[in-house]
Amino acid sequence: MFDTAMTELTFGRVWGPLIYLYGVGGIFFLAGMIISTRSKSLNIKTRNGKKWFKLLLFGYGWYLFIHTSLTLAALYLK
């Protein structure tokens, strides 16, 4: 009934998925940022465009922060 596979907390088990998520996911994110800015749909020369650009980067960092914090809590919060 429960997940009993690979309960040993190796580096690959703990950090592998996180690196994959933000690496492969990051490629899609980067592609989206490049296409949005190059097409001028996201115009970073305007104040509004800069605001959205920063928010998009913040969002990526925000989720990275959440997943990293939860991982560290799982390992070290007793």
How far apart are alpha carbons 19 and 37 in whole angstroms?
Answer: 26
- How many other C-beta atoms are found inside a 10 Å radius of the C-beta of residue 40? 10
Helix axes 11-38, 47-76, angle to 10 degrees: 180
Residue span 15-34 as binding mask against another protein, x where in contact by CB under 8 A, dash where not: -xxx-xx--xxx-xx--xx-
Interaction of residue 44 with another protein, rule CB under 8 A:
no
Q: Which three-class secondary structure state does DSSP give residue 39?
A: coil
Interface residues with another protein (CB under 8 A)?
Answer: 1-3, 5-7, 9, 12-14, 16-18, 20-21, 24-26, 28-29, 32-33, 35-36, 39-42, 46-48, 52, 55-56, 59-60, 62-63, 66-67, 70-71, 73-75, 77
